């Protein structure tokens, strides 16, 4: 299992538009990804309803994880998603 911890960079947290941007990136990652609050249950990062249900606030630390067989691919995907979340990007980067 590969994991990344990151603070949510969107001031409003993972709600509405930021959640949509994140879910599209997670879906395009090419590996299964979960997202969780610290000490919380992980949910499917490619599910809009699951991500919204977390209620992750701006500045809050979250955990991104993947149990993909290809650890290098999983690590690269999580690095891209962690950067997206930490920087609070308003658009998907070309490399997602």
53 alpha carbon, distance to own chain's centre: 13
> Is residue 94 domain-resident?
no
In a domain, 20, yes or no: yes
pLDDT score recorded for residue 84: 94
Q: Is 15 a catalytic residue?
A: yes
Q: How far, CA to CA in Å, does 37 sit from each of 7, 45, 53, 70, 76?
A: 10, 12, 11, 24, 21
What kind and span of H or E run contains 68?
none
- d(C-alpha 41, C-alpha 3), whole Å: 14
At 77, which CATH number? 3.30.1340.10
Mean pLDDT in runs of 10 for the chain (96 residues)? Answer: 96 92 95 96 97 96 97 96 90 56
pTM of the model: 0.91
The total of structural domains in the chain comes to 1
Out of 3, 7, 9, 15, the active site residue is 15
For the chain, the average pLDDT equals 93
Model pLDDT, residue 90: 73
Domain ranges, residue 71:
2-87
Looking at residue 96, what is its pLDDT? 47
Q: Which residues contact 9 (CB under 8 A, 6 or more apart)?
A: 58, 85, 86, 87, 88, 89
Residue 78 included in any domain: yes
The answer as to whether 6 is a domain residue is: yes
């Amino acid at each position: 299992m590969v994991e990344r911890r990151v603070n949510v960079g969107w001031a409003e947290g993972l709600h509405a538009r930021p959640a949509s941007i994140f879910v599209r990136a997670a879906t395009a990652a090419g590996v299964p990804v979960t997202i969780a609050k610290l000490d919380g249950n992980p949910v499917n990062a490619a599910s809009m309803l699951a991500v919204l249900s977390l209620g992750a606030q701006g500045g809050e630390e979250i955990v991104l994880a993947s149990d993909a067989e290809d650890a290098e691919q999983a690590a690269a995907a999580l690095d891209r998603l962690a950067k997206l979340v930490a920087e609070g990007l308003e658009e998907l980067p070309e490399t997602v």
